Every structure is written in C-alpha cells, then in structure tokens.
Structure 1
Amino acid sequence: MCGITGWVDFERDLSRERDVLSAMTDTMACRGPDARGVWTGHHAAVGHRRLSIIDLPGGAQPMVAEPDKADATVLTYSGEVYNFAELRERLAARGHRFRTDSDTEVVLRGYLEWGESVVDRLNGMYAFAVWDARAERLLLVRDRMGIKPLFYHPTPHGVVFGSEPKALLANPLVDAVVDEDGLRELLGFVKTPERSVYQGIREVRPGHVVRVDREGVHRRAYWRLEAREHTDDLDTTVRTVRDLLEDTVDRQLVSDVPRCTLLSGGLDSSALTALAARRLRAAGAERVRSFAVDFAGYTEHFRPDELRETPDAPYVRELSRHVDADHTDIVLSSADLTDPRARRAVLRANDAPAAIGDMYTSLYLLFQAIRRHSTVALSGESADEVFGGYRQFHDPEAVDADTFPWLAIAGPRRARSSWLDPGLSRRLDLPGYQRAAYRAALAEVPHVPGVSARERRMREVCYLHLTRFVQILLDRKDRMSMANGLEVRVPFCDHRLVQYVFNTPWEMKTFDGREKSLLRAATRDLLPASVADRRKSPYPSTQDPLYDRALRKELAGVLDDTASPVRPLIDVQRARELLTEPDGVEAERQARLGLEMILGLDAWLREYRPELRLGG
C-alpha cells in the first residue's frame, strides 16, 4: 500500500535537501514498513515507504523511467491497480518492456504512453505523484472514490505533498496552523472536499488530478458520478450487481501476501466473505480467513439502542460456519480501549482528534491483531452508502431535513459541541458552516430529468453519502489500517458498481421494502437466511460502563489542570456536566461524544502543539 511524499520547488536546488525529504519520508514508516526509498533532482525530491503486496522482490520506489537520463520521469505510488495485468498486455503490445511484475511499473509506463489520460484507464485504489522533468510538471492523482489519501500544500515556488499531513508538517515550509475553518472541519462532521484541519494543507479531491508547473496549481476532475437513465429491469439489475461484485472480488483477491476478510455478521461483510470463500474454493486455494472485532461481555450484556438491535457475534459464527471460514475473533476489553499507547497511536495516525474515539481505537487494535496473520484484508466498507443501508436513508424526517441526513438523524440532543466556549461557539457558527457545506454539495448533484420529487431527493441523499459521509469512514479505515502496515481493500467502492447503483431508481433499491434490497437479492444464495435478513447494525461500540467511567475520570483531571491547552476552547462548567453518569443507553452515547472530543482535543493540542489562529 505504502506512503508517498515529495517536494517540488522551481526556484531551489532540491538535490541539496535530501535530509528534509528523508524526514518527511520517515514520518510514514508505519504505512510502509518493508522498504524505504528517496530520489532527488534539481527541482523535485520524492520519497516512498513500501508495504510489499505485489511483486515483492521488484517494485522498489520511487520508480524512475530511464534513470540514466537527466530528464527523468519519476513515480511514487500508493495503492493497487486491479486491472494492471490487462494494461500491461496493452502496453507490451505497444512496445514497452518491463523490468518488474509490479502494478507500479504499469502505472509509470502507462503515463509514458498516455500521459495524464492514464488515469482514465485505471481500476483500483491509489494515490500517486509523477514528476516529469521533461515538462517540469508534477501530477498528483487520487482514485475515484478517495480510498487512498493525498494532501498537498502550495508554496511560493511549488508544492509539498504526502499521504498524510504529518509528512508535510515535517517540511520547514509548512507550519501546523489551525484556524476557525480547521476547527469547524473537526467539529462539523461534514467532510468538506479538499479541506483539511491544517491551514494551507489541502486534500486532492477524489477523482481529481492536480497539476503543478511554473504557472501554478491546476485542478481538474477526471471522474465524477454522472446522471444516466437506468433502463434495466429488476432481474437484470440484480444480475448486473452480482456480476460486478464477483468480478471486483476476484480482482481484489490478487495478492502475493496473506489475505483475509473483515467480518461483522452483517449483510455487507458476510456477502463479501462468502464471495471470497467461493472464489478461493474454485481456485483450489486456502480457506478464506476472516476476523471480527468483539468486546468482552458484549453479547452477554448487550442492550439494544437506536442504532443496533442485535450483537454481531452470533451472526459472525453462523456465517463463518456456513462458508467454512478460518475465523478468529479479536476480543477487546475496556482496558485495551483506554490504553494510552493505543490512543496515542490513533492520534498519531489520524493527525487530529478522532471523531468517535472508541470506534477508532477498536479498529486500530483489530488491525494490529490481524497484521500478525495477514497483510491484505477485504472490507465491506461503503456498501451502506452505495445501496442505501443507513437508518437516515429510511427515516422521512432525516430524508426531508434541510441538512445532511446524518446530522438530522442525530437530532437536537447531539452533544458534539455543546461544551464549547460560548464566544468561540458563536464565532465558529457550526450550523452556518454545515448549511453552507450542504448547499455546496447539493449544487453538485447530477439529475435525470422527468423523475418524481421523491426520486430526485433520494438521488441527492445518495450523492451526499457517496461524496461526503463515506469519506469520513474511508479516512478512518485508511489511517487505522496503515498505522499497522495493513492494506484494506474495499470492493464496494469499485467505481463501476458505484456508478451503476447510483443511477438505479430508489424504488428498485428498496423493492422488497427494506434497506439494501439489491445487495440482498444479489447475494442471498450465498448466505444463511438469518444473516441475509438481519437488519443493519453499524460498526460496534463498547457498552461497558467501565469505559465511560474511565473517560470521565480522565476528563476530571483535564478540567482540574489549569495548564490544560483545551481549557480556552471549552466552557468548563458545561464540560463538568459530562462527569455525571447519564441515565439510559442513548444519553450515554450522546455524552460520550463530548467526553471523547474534549479529551481528543486536549491530547492533540499537547502532542502536535498547533498554532491556533481563532481571531476574537
């Protein structure tokens, strides 16, 4: 999977800046534990940390075409291109000769053959940079759905870039500055495209190319969701979904290292695991390996709430038996979730406070355990966004609300920022920020003429989830997995599947009166009835009261510390109200949002020491 970084400056000799480039590269050692490489030229310096997945002996990076020439073309690449074998054949037929069996070289040779339009031919998850010394041009490219991250910071004479903000912050030209928009992005839960928490650090938008040359920084979309009339009948649609899923899983099982699936016992992960098991059996390969996260005592003491009706474990066991998986449960305690080392690792991986702390820490620990056995994992992430699985897709009030549906479903009890200092809260105006972000997102939605008002609105709801909400989850998945050197692939993000289902009418997506009707119909034959018919249950969150008590104890210490860096940002008295044990499951969930965000902010301010430019 890897981590990439680099620096282009048209007024500086960067061959003398190898130490800076090395420092930037080394910030991402966790993303690429297997190898390290740097390349420097006159106006460009490129770094790479490698996690070896395809062609373990070859594929070293940065990869240079015709390295003996002064006008080098250099690639630093992260991700996987799943159609690289077909592209390799096409390029070989055009006269290209390959030194490795890696997909990296296919991308490099593809650029040499097709230039910037190589991006139109790639199927996969990737973020890469190409420095073309002949044209004195840098290209930054991100995959269509934004599975892999890529950040950049324009400078007076060029740009600094990297897979994570920490790589950029290691360059002396980039300061850790957080302004009011940065805090809004942290607290608003809207994931504004291109924006990061840090002032001046931008994120390459999914499906975009950023070109940097002497004239400046230029951005263009090479892919976006399009409005197309859906003419297939229901049977054809279900069959097409199944065909696309089978092809995607087949492609994403290709690996030269041990692989597995993430299994929760829900429809998404179970369908994926069953498809993988079937494919591996047909190939005469090993049994599918699967892993699930669980909490000590969770099933025995489970309490249903607004989000989760049932615990995962019984369904995980049934599915793993049904497909004969080699399954392992990773069982975590509250002590694991509050371990300072794990929480610091999460913070360092995320470069910012985690939005929902225990759901980040548990995922980090799950991936840590998986990495002892496997290097590649397939995840069911994004199926809810693609097929319409979340509760807010089916709640009329959330659908009709004049805001992002996931904000509407949280309702007025949402405790994400009620503890902010009143003056700061007024300046941030989070409701206004959310409204502006919502309006901007709506303006992008492509529509098919002549449809009903209901169909038009559901297209908007789907688009909001596929371009905003999914990014929050993909970011979490990437940071927590790569912090452990684990590559997580997401078959439901295949752009062919996403585009096809996006244009499928909502009444067809819910033809059986349920969520994710198309996915259920396309994979029911592979699943036990109990799993196929199980209602949506999100990624689990611990219900152990010991966890919340540990958070309250920690917060009491922070509030009593007059030197705490978070105190100027909060209303201390309102924050103290969070120290009282709430009554009821939902009240606990809402209070935890505040507890974890205050503690996360405090830890981040202590660790990263950003300069806060908040005006007022």
Structure 2
Amino acid sequence: MCGIAGWVSFERDLAAERATVDAMTETMTCRGPDAEGVWIDRHAALGHRRLSIIDLEGGRQPMVVETPEGPVAMTYSGEAYNFTELRRELAARGHKFRTDSDTEVVLHGYLEWGAGVAERLNGMVAFAIWDSRSQQLVMVRDRMGIKPFYYYETADGVLFGSEPKAILANPLAKRVIDADGLRELFTFSKTPGVAVWQGMREVQPGTVVTVDRNGLRTAVYWKLDSRKHTDDTETSVAHVRELLDDIVARQLVADVPRCVLLSGGLDSSAITALSAQQLGRVGEKVRSFAVDFTGQTENFKPDEFRATPDTPFVHDVQKHVGSVHQDIVLDPTALSDPDVRRAVVTARDIPFGLGDMDGSLYLLFKAIREHSTVALSGESADEVFGGYKWFHDPEVQKADIFPWLAASRQMGGGAVNVLNPELAGSLDLGGYLQDGYASAVAEVEKVPGETEHEHRMRVISYLHLTRFVRILLDRKDRMSMAVGLEVRVPFCDHRLVEYVYNTPWGMKTFDGREKSLLRAATQDVLPRSVVERVKSPYPSTQDPNYAAALQQQVKEVLADNDNPVFDLVNRAWLTDLVAADPASVDTQSRNGLEKTLDYSYWLQAYRPEIKVG
C-alpha cells in the first residue's frame, strides 16, 4: 500500500520540474512512510511513497523495465492478491523477475498484455504506467474503487495522484470549487468520477484511462452486470463460503504484522473467525482490535440504528476464536480534539465526513498502527448481502430516491439544515440528487423473468454497490492511510460481489432476516450470540460531554464575524444550537456542529475559491 503521484507534459522537459514533482510526491508521505522514489523522463514524471508490505527490500518504486524501444515505468499502489499465479504464468512465458513483489508482476503483466493486465488482477490497485515506446500514460483503478485515484487534465497533459492533495501541490491545478462541487459536497451521495475540485476527476472503478498527445481516453474493463442465478440455496451458501475461505487466505498474505477489525457484528466476526481458522493451520493466533467509548456499554441507550452495544459481542467472538484482542477505548476529550478533526479533513481533502465516526476510526487506526501494518475489515458486507435496516423497509424500497437518504428522512434527517438558506436554495440539492438517482437506476439491467420486486431489490443493491459503498471505502482508505495502515476489504472481492449481486433477493433473505447467505455460510465458526445479533452500524459516542465540547468550539467560530464559513452555514441556527443543553442535542443537530467545524478548518487550510454563479 502506497501513495502515487505524477505529471505528464508533452510540451515541457520535466527534468526541469523536479522540485514540483518532489512536492507532489511529498504530500503522499502519510500513505507511504517507509520509502520515497521519483523517476523522470523528458515528458513524464512518476512519484512514489511506499508502505512496505510484501518483499520489503525488493519492491521499491517507481519500478522500471528497460526495453529495446525504451523504458516502461510504473508507480503502483495497492495489492494484487493473485500475483503468485500471475508470476508463474508470466515466468512460463519467458519473463524474468528480480524481486518477490506484486509490483514487478503487475509491471511485467503490462509488458505481456498491455492495459489488458487490469482484467487479470484480483485485488485493490491504483497504478500509472508511462510507456515511452508509445509515449502514453496508462492509469488503472480496481473494479470496486477500493484504492483512490485522481487526475487533472492540463493544456498539454495530465496530473495524477492517489489523493487530491498530490495534484493540488502542482501550480497548474487551481483550487476552485464550483456549484457542482458544492452539490457533491453537501449531498450524501457519490457521483462516479466527480472529485469536487473543479477540473479534477476520479479514475472510475473498473476503468483504464489512457493519455497521449491526442488527448485522454477511457475504457471500462469491468462493470456490475445482471445475470441469471441458477444455483439453489444450499449450493449458493456453499459457494459463498468457498469464496470467503479463498479470499481471506489470499488477503492474509503479508510480510508484516497483520490483524482484523472486530466490531462484534456478523461481518467483522466472520472475517475474524475465518482468519483465526486460516492462521491456526500454521500455528498462529489472529490479533483483533475494537473501538469503544468510555462508559458506552454501561450507559448504552438503544436508538433507531443501534439496538445493542458492541463490546459484549466483541468479547464473545474473542473467546470463541481465541484471538489476541485489544479494545481501544476513547473518551470525549480525545474525540473532540481539534487536531484529530484537522487530521481527518486533511486526509480527505474535503469536509465530507461522518463526525465522531471518522474521528474515532482515525484514532482506532492510529492505535492499531503501533502493533500492525495490515488489517482486514468487514466493510462492504452490508452493501453486498443487503444488511442495512432500510433494505427491508417497504416504504424505503418504494422511495424514488437513494435508499439511505429515504431512510434518513423517515427518522427526521434533513429536517435540520446547517447550510446557509440562500446558498442551499441556489444549489437545488434536491434536483441534483434526483438527477444522480435517475442516472444510476438507468444503468441497471433487468434479468428476463425477474419479478418487479426482485428487480427493485436488484436496483437497491446496485445503488449501494456503485454509490454508497464508495463513500465508505473512501473513508476507510483515507483514515487508515493517514496513519500508514493498510486496510483490506475481503467482501469487495469482485468474484463475491458479482455472485451475490446476481443472487435473487428471496435467497438473500431465505431465513427471514438480513444477510441470510452470509449468516448461513459462516455460522459454524461463530458464537451463537453473534449469529443471532441484529445489524448494528459502526458505533458513535452517546456521551453528552462530546456534544458540549463541540458547542464550545462552535462558539469560538461564531465569535469570528469574518469567518468565511458563514458563507456556507446558517449562523442563526448555530447560535441557537450552541446555547442548548448538550443532553438535548440530537444526532442531526450534532452533525451540524461537526460540519461547521469541518468546513471552517477546510476553508482555512485549503483556501478554495468558491464559484457558485
């Protein structure tokens, strides 16, 4: 896992731009604290920061192969979990390897198959290859978009990087946010390709972007297709388990200490148990970590999303599988620390966060990094198997909007609007969301013979797997890489995603509950308490002292009459909110406080030019 950056310019000699390339690469230090490398040709410059995971000595980058027609160089981020098989295949075709790294395998795969190497990879990758033979840059991103990848077209080429900050370090990139950027920022959706910053784009998941003197071209090598499912329930459960066993085994491969993230829910518990089983075969114990809050278990209050606290279930799993476990317990002072908020916003380059859930995730990862370099996560199982409560709500199923937003509105979300009313009115956020929703729904193919209800549930699954999950994957990647921790997501293996996506909804809920296939496939390795537990999302602190700390910080913002944040947020609403009893501040109001502080820091640190008109 690493950070990449680069610049292609067909009208400049980039050898004279070393200082700028170094500055772009340096912004990726958090993603790659172990080593740095820069490679410059006349019209291409590649930068790399390395987090050493496999072949600690041999995998240095950028990696270059000299061919008779000229060099082919690559800067690569991520992991290819099937590199061992690909290496054997390439060796049989005559390729010689100097290292044991997956990086070299991917580079030689490009030499053999060109951009077609993307289709052969199983993993989470984002990489760029400069092919001097054809004078072209080839940028590739994994199928599910696990690894971030951005680019910015210039008058004579392109800038690129793992994160926007790498691109923004180049003077050619302008720090401008237009109306569409604000719309993306203020709506809890993820429009494919949109990067918020004007002129910047994402390499879309499952896509190859090629840049040469004739311009930029994109080619899709993978998308989520609709296919008829022919397996019966018993066969489907068995196949899910077979896939999970293979996926976990592959994703445990590393030359550094690894662990699992354990919440006590079905998803993370399944990954923990399967990891324990795999490692037990070689005489190792799995290490697990969980986040908790001071007094949360003792004082827990059920709400619309969370019926039970995590910790008792975490400990049940720990005892059941024999993991070496550690709870990371956070108090309101740590969660509300402005330095943590600054770290979170800086990691994301935009103020698009989930409040204390981002801060606690960052602090959890920071604590884990003291013991491990790689962690396996249960992220994305809810999107794959249909785990969220709103999947099963008839009113949400019928709603003509993104399901997670329909569920939020049912529970009062959206009633509180932290935004400046004039700005919100000019942006027409509802229209923007509706257009994005209609575009997404139009992408879903109907399978012959599929009932209307089955097709509707396919649509809901598709929305989660192509929009919602990308928000969460981006969050996971940014919070983990901000502290140099690689987090792997087994449930995003494209083989599993394709198979379960095409499994009928009736089969996904065959036992009358959420995530029936996953529960049936893994119940033999789990404690009964977890098998029977109702879905509970990532935890959020319930301590009113946290809300009180936010109120105090927002008071300081309100005291600054010239703070540009009030071009974005509703000063009158905030004034009333900071005077309220902290115990009466509900979740939506607290989110408004969080967003105000995020926006305020972002405007101060990034100094974007806002263009609404």
Q: Confirm whether residue 219 of structure 1 aligns to residue 218 of structure 2.
A: yes
- Which of 593, 598, 613 is the equivalent residue of 1:595? 593
- Cα offsets for 1:391-421 (capped at 9, x unmatched): 1101111111000000000116324871322
Q: How far apart are 1:70 and its partner, in Å?
A: 7.1
- Cα offsets for 1:518-552 (capped at 9, x unmatched): 00000000001111110000000000000001111
Q: How far apart are 1:354 and its partner, in Å?
A: 3.6
Distance in 2 between residues matched to 1:314 and 1:574, nearest whole Å: 39
2:12 equivalent in structure 1: 12
TM-score normalized with structure 1 length: 0.98
- Cα offsets for 1:56-111 (capped at 9, x unmatched): 010110000028x6721001000000000000000000000000000000000000
State the secondary structure of the residue aligned to 1:436: helix
Q: Confirm whether residue 171 of structure 1 aligns to residue 170 of structure 2.
A: yes
1:551 equivalent in structure 2: 550
State the secondary structure of the residue aligned to 2:564: coil
Q: How far apart are 1:250 and its partner, in Å?
A: 0.3
- Which of 298, 301, 317 is the equivalent residue of 2:299? 301
- Comparing 592-601 with 497-506, greater Cα deviation is found at 592-601
Q: How far apart are 1:387 and its partner, in Å?
A: 0.2
Distance in 1 between residues matched to 2:513 and 2:581, nearest whole Å: 33
Distance in 1 between residues matched to 2:407 and 2:308, nearest whole Å: 20
Q: How far apart are 1:582 and its partner, in Å?
A: 6.8
Distance in 1 between residues matched to 2:480 and 2:568, nearest whole Å: 31
1:337 equivalent in structure 2: 335
The amino acid of 1:493's aligned partner reads C
Q: How far apart are 1:197 and its partner, in Å?
A: 1.6
Which segments of structure 1 move beyond 3 Å, counting only runs of 4 or more? Answer: 580-585
Distance in 2 between residues matched to 1:431 and 1:410, nearest whole Å: 14
1:414 equivalent in structure 2: 413
2:44 equivalent in structure 1: 44
State the secondary structure of the residue aligned to 1:566: helix
Q: Confirm whether residue 72 of structure 1 aligns to residue 71 of structure 2.
A: yes
State the secondary structure of the residue aligned to 2:333: helix
Q: How far apart are 1:577 and its partner, in Å?
A: 2.8
Q: How far apart are 1:183 and its partner, in Å?
A: 1.1
Q: Confirm whether residue 541 of structure 1 aligns to residue 507 of structure 2.
A: no
- Cα offsets for 1:289-348 (capped at 9, x unmatched): 000000000001101000000000000001001000000000001100111222111111
2:612 equivalent in structure 1: 614
1:269 equivalent in structure 2: 268
Distance in 1 between residues matched to 2:526 and 2:568, nearest whole Å: 50
Q: Is the contact between residue 391 and residue 397 of structure 2 (CA under 8 Å) also seen in structure 1?
A: yes
Gaps of 5+ in 2: none
The amino acid of 2:80's aligned partner reads V
2:574 equivalent in structure 1: 575
The amino acid of 2:323's aligned partner reads A
The amino acid of 2:409's aligned partner reads G
Distance in 1 between residues matched to 2:141 and 2:580, nearest whole Å: 45
- Cα offsets for 1:578-605 (capped at 9, x unmatched): 22437988x6111112111111111100
Distance in 2 between residues matched to 1:579 and 1:305, nearest whole Å: 23
1:260 equivalent in structure 2: 259
Q: Confirm whether residue 368 of structure 1 aligns to residue 366 of structure 2.
A: yes
Q: Is the contact between residue 8 and residue 45 of structure 2 (CA under 8 Å) also seen in structure 1?
A: yes
Q: How far apart are 1:574 and its partner, in Å?
A: 2.1
Q: Is the contact between residue 419 and residue 571 of structure 1 (CA under 8 Å) also seen in structure 2?
A: yes
Q: Confirm whether residue 427 of structure 1 aligns to residue 426 of structure 2.
A: yes
Size of the aligned set, in residue pairs, is 612
Distance in 1 between residues matched to 2:90 and 2:251, nearest whole Å: 22
Distance in 2 between residues matched to 1:571 and 1:111, nearest whole Å: 52
Q: Is the contact between residue 547 and residue 582 of structure 2 (CA under 8 Å) also seen in structure 1?
A: no
State the secondary structure of the residue aligned to 1:72: strand
Q: How far apart are 1:556 and its partner, in Å?
A: 1.7
Distance in 2 between residues matched to 1:202 and 1:578, nearest whole Å: 37
Distance in 2 between residues matched to 1:407 and 1:100, nearest whole Å: 48
Distance in 1 between residues matched to 2:89 and 2:568, nearest whole Å: 57
1:449 equivalent in structure 2: 448
- Cα offsets for 1:231-280 (capped at 9, x unmatched): 00000000000000000000000000000000000000000000000000
State the secondary structure of the residue aligned to 2:586: helix
Q: How far apart are 1:499 and its partner, in Å?
A: 0.1
Distance in 2 between residues matched to 1:408 and 1:575, nearest whole Å: 25
2:29 equivalent in structure 1: 29
Q: Is the contact between residue 180 and residue 614 of structure 1 (CA under 8 Å) also seen in structure 2?
A: yes
2:63 equivalent in structure 1: 63
Structure 1's 288 and 194: CA in aligned 2 closer, same or farther, altered over 3 A? same
The amino acid of 1:593's aligned partner reads N
Distance in 1 between residues matched to 2:82 and 2:247, nearest whole Å: 10
Distance in 2 between residues matched to 1:447 and 1:33, nearest whole Å: 47
- Cα offsets for 1:24-56 (capped at 9, x unmatched): 000010100000000000110000000000000
The amino acid of 1:474's aligned partner reads L
What are the equivalent positions in structure 2 for 1:128-139 lying under 5 Å apart? 128-139=127-138
Distance in 2 between residues matched to 1:340 and 1:559, nearest whole Å: 16
- Cα offsets for 1:183-240 (capped at 9, x unmatched): 1111111111100121111011111111111111111110001111100000000000
Q: Confirm whether residue 156 of structure 1 aligns to residue 155 of structure 2.
A: yes
State the secondary structure of the residue aligned to 1:555: helix
2:287 equivalent in structure 1: 289
State the secondary structure of the residue aligned to 2:499: helix
- Comparing 395-404 with 494-503, greater Cα deviation is found at 395-404
The amino acid of 1:333's aligned partner reads D
**Superposition CA RMSD, Å:** 1.3
- Cα offsets for 1:407-449 (capped at 9, x unmatched): 0001163248713222211111111110010011111112212
Distance in 2 between residues matched to 1:521 and 1:544, nearest whole Å: 36
1:476 equivalent in structure 2: 475
Distance in 2 between residues matched to 1:98 and 1:416, nearest whole Å: 60
Q: Is the contact between residue 415 and residue 593 of structure 1 (CA under 8 Å) also seen in structure 2?
A: no
- Which of 304, 320, 323 is the equivalent residue of 2:321? 323
State the secondary structure of the residue aligned to 2:342: helix
State the secondary structure of the residue aligned to 2:70: coil
State the secondary structure of the residue aligned to 2:291: strand
State the secondary structure of the residue aligned to 1:465: helix
Q: How far apart are 1:356 and its partner, in Å?
A: 1.4
Q: Is the contact between residue 415 and residue 594 of structure 1 (CA under 8 Å) also seen in structure 2?
A: no
Distance in 2 between residues matched to 1:581 and 1:529, nearest whole Å: 43
The amino acid of 1:239's aligned partner reads A
Distance in 2 between residues matched to 1:392 and 1:205, nearest whole Å: 27
The amino acid of 1:418's aligned partner reads N
Distance in 1 between residues matched to 2:101 and 2:416, nearest whole Å: 47
Q: How far apart are 1:283 and its partner, in Å?
A: 2.1
1:402 equivalent in structure 2: 400
Q: Is the contact between residue 354 and residue 360 of structure 1 (CA under 8 Å) also seen in structure 2?
A: no
